[in-house]
Structure 1
């Protein structure tokens, strides 16, 4: 397992953050899915994730099965039920496949639970220990928007493949990785007029600070709009943009998400790479579908963003968007929904100094999403 178990004291880069809750990084993201075995195959062979750990009937787990995959510092857990009824079935029936747990790596899961619940967080699970021959880990958890849960994972005394109760998962059929490094940010969609409630939650309950705010003048087209605020912890490793719908002539992507997901949830996960051209080329060749960007977007691109290191042609051919801020520029591209319901998707991002989120691309991105909504018949 590539995550370093050593306690880290990371530099504070967001001075406004209270930072009473030291978070070392994202530990894992767990999705409840209808068929974990097949989902694992997709993420291994289309996305280049590597098999890490497994829990199921063979490990004594009777109610569910989980596959753990990893690429760089990105760890994904895919979990399916083995019995009828129960929480996992109810979640899948209501939401389709989707993110249930966003687990945060901490030094002290007990203290993390105490600090957040005393500030008003609703408890999901009190701190408990897991132990096997490889050591022990401590886990606790709180509720966030919708049915999404933040787990706090303390693993300083654990040396196994993932967590106690899991065994090494290996398979002969492996695909090379695609150059994905870590989770850059993770976006939550919430309902009408709920954004500020959850911004306040991350500020008050978790000690995050607001990095940036976008209103419907920033993020809109002729038809749809949304509002967004980005929250970050002190060391900048955890960034959570929170989106809510805004009034428009037609149904926005946020409304479409909430309709099909039946509530608030994780809309997309942004995965960082050091070479977006290589990464996206591999993903596309393996069947991952990306939003279409008209060639006209590139006609005056260099006038808008200035000089960049990359050749324009491959960016144009792949549909990669470019934006610049005061600190540099970034390259980004968005997949189509990776599920049958038009809910969750991924962003691939490469930062060349820029710390922003592609404000200059919002209009082009929204128009691309609207084209897909129109094909689905969900724009009106």
Structure 2
């Protein structure tokens, strides 16, 4: 394994702040999140956007009409559109990304909202960079709490963020490893090191050791026309996969048969949910 320390000038990743889904089915997808233990806690000041939360896992549901305007029909129901990484200094991290050739995201901040720096990611997805140097999460600025909402939602079975699976185009593994390595200080794990249920592709780890990115190219001989580049699945870490599966199944979430995926102690995959989404549980201690 390579040295985990970022080189001079690279940002220090401190974890995942939130993931954002765009959807035309906010009620149905929200119901799925609630079955998984999330609770809606706040609404965006100016857009049709809700924040769901459990533990330190924040999921934003964006049903604004513009959110899916450019998505092809096959991806028009629920799309994992954005990943927000928590960094030590968002301004410095953003400037470093631009110096490395990243393409900046045009801000759409409204009155009384934060201007969050972002860069373009795979297949139209977005990477946001946030920090908490003021001790105030951006949700307390851009969002208004729902009536009687409590931000301290207990996590089901110790659920926490683990990482994101990203589908990439044929032959682009090195490109994306360079992207995350140079701009964000991730390091590539040794070949053959895998987590969860998908033993394919390359995996990178943040310097803090708490964020993993898995890059998966299309299978040999597959129809590349229908291969959608972009973020496709969120990985949620749990200390005990079997316990987490049992608790979530009791709440109505179904999982793919363990015999089809290998060692259940390492991970589990939900059955297809609203809009074709899935969540992956990964054995991981905080």
TM range (shorter): 0.7 to 0.9
Q: CA deviation at 1:177?
A: 4.7
Contact 2:29 2:274 in 1 (8 A): no
Q: CA deviation at 1:30?
A: 0.4
> How many pairs are equivalent?
277
User: Is 1:78 matched up with 2:61?
Assistant: yes
For residues 144 and 188 of structure 1, what CA distance do their matches in structure 2 show? 10
SS at match of 1:263: coil
Q: CA deviation at 1:43?
A: 0.5
Q: Which residue of 1 aligns with 2:121?
A: 144
Q: CA deviation at 1:233?
A: 1.8
Query: Are the structure 2 counterparts of residues 67 and 14 from structure 1 closer, same or farther at C-alpha, using a change threshold of 3 Å?
Result: farther
For residues 154 and 130 of structure 1, what CA distance do their matches in structure 2 show? 19
User: Is 1:188 matched up with 2:166?
Assistant: yes
Contact 1:137 1:153 in 2 (8 A): no
The list of structure 1 runs, each at least 4 consecutive aligned residues, that deviate by more than 4 angstroms after superposition, is 128-132
Contact 1:67 1:79 in 2 (8 A): yes
Aligned pair partner of 2:7 in 7, 18, 21: 18
Query: Are the structure 2 counterparts of residues 131 and 171 from structure 1 closer, same or farther at C-alpha, using a change threshold of 3 Å?
Result: same
- 1:1-380 mapped onto 2 (5 Å cutoff): 14-15=3-4, 17-18=6-7, 20-44=10-34, 46-55=35-44, 59=45, 61=46, 64-81=47-64, 83=65, 86-91=66-71, 93=73, 95-96=75-76, 97-125=78-106, 132=112, 137=114, 139-157=116-134, 159=136, 162-170=139-147, 177-214=155-192, 227-247=200-220, 251=222, 259=226, 263-294=228-259, 321-322=263-264, 331-341=266-276, 344-351=277-284
When Rg is computed on C-alpha atoms for both structures, the one with the higher figure is: 1
Query: Are the structure 2 counterparts of residues 199 and 176 from structure 1 closer, same or farther at C-alpha, using a change threshold of 3 Å?
Result: closer
Query: Are the structure 2 counterparts of residues 16 and 154 from structure 1 closer, same or farther at C-alpha, using a change threshold of 3 Å?
Result: closer
Identify unmatched segments of 5+ residues in structure 1.
1-12, 219-224, 298-318, 323-329, 354-380
Q: CA deviation at 1:228?
A: 0.9
Q: CA deviation at 1:143?
A: 1.0
Identify unmatched segments of 5+ residues in structure 2.
none
For residues 167 and 92 of structure 1, what CA distance do their matches in structure 2 show? 32
TM-score normalised by structure 1 residue count:
0.64
For residues 201 and 119 of structure 1, what CA distance do their matches in structure 2 show? 9
For residues 208 and 176 of structure 1, what CA distance do their matches in structure 2 show? 30
CA RMSD of aligned residues (A): 3.3
Q: CA deviation at 1:267?
A: 2.4
Higher relative contact order (CA 8 A, sep 6+): 2
For residues 113 and 94 of structure 1, what CA distance do their matches in structure 2 show? 32
Contact 1:17 1:232 in 2 (8 A): no
For residues 241 and 273 of structure 2, what CA distance do their matches in structure 1 show? 19
For residues 180 and 187 of structure 2, what CA distance do their matches in structure 1 show? 8
For residues 135 and 6 of structure 2, what CA distance do their matches in structure 1 show? 30
For residues 25 and 189 of structure 1, what CA distance do their matches in structure 2 show? 21
For residues 52 and 92 of structure 1, what CA distance do their matches in structure 2 show? 30
Query: Are the structure 2 counterparts of residues 284 and 108 from structure 1 closer, same or farther at C-alpha, using a change threshold of 3 Å?
Result: same
Contact 2:258 2:268 in 1 (8 A): no
Contact 2:20 2:59 in 1 (8 A): yes
SS at match of 2:116: strand
Query: Are the structure 2 counterparts of residues 139 and 352 from structure 1 closer, same or farther at C-alpha, using a change threshold of 3 Å?
Result: closer
Q: CA deviation at 1:77?
A: 0.3
